[in-house]
């Protein structure tokens, strides 16, 4: 039985998009199986180090860039919108 976010994902699939167990499996893997890109991002964050000639400001900017790429990859459109609005209000 699907529960939580997985059940919500399943309920919001377009009508008629799942025609067999195989299409459900493919859709599930597309949504939840980390891709090579995701592993690369997580590896870059895990192994991130400040370079000897790098300023702290540049290091933090590089870190934020990686985090934003992770957010863009994993977050739903709703979550992305919420982050955007929070950042927009921080500018005021």
**Predicted model pTM:** 0.48
Residue 77 has pLDDT above 80, yes or no: no
**79 vs 26, higher pLDDT:** 26
pLDDT higher than 90, residue 55: yes
Helix%, strand%, coil% for the chain, nearest 5:
70, 0, 30
pLDDT tens figures, 2-14: 888 888 889 989 9
**Residue 39, pLDDT above cutoff 70:** yes
Q: Which of 78, 40, 45 has the alpha carbon at shortest distance from 59?
A: 45
């Amino acid at each position: 039985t699907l529960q939580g976010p997985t059940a919500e994902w399943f309920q919001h699939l377009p009508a008629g998009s799942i025609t067999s167990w195989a299409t459900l499996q493919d859709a599930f893997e597309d949504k939840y199986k980390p891709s090579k890109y995701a592993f690369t991002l997580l590896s870059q964050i895990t192994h991130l180090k400040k370079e000897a000639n790098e300023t702290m400001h540049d290091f933090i900017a590089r870190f934020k860039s990686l985090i934003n790429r992770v957010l863009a990859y994993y977050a739903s459109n709703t979550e992305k919108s919420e982050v955007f609005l929070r950042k927009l209000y921080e500018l005021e």
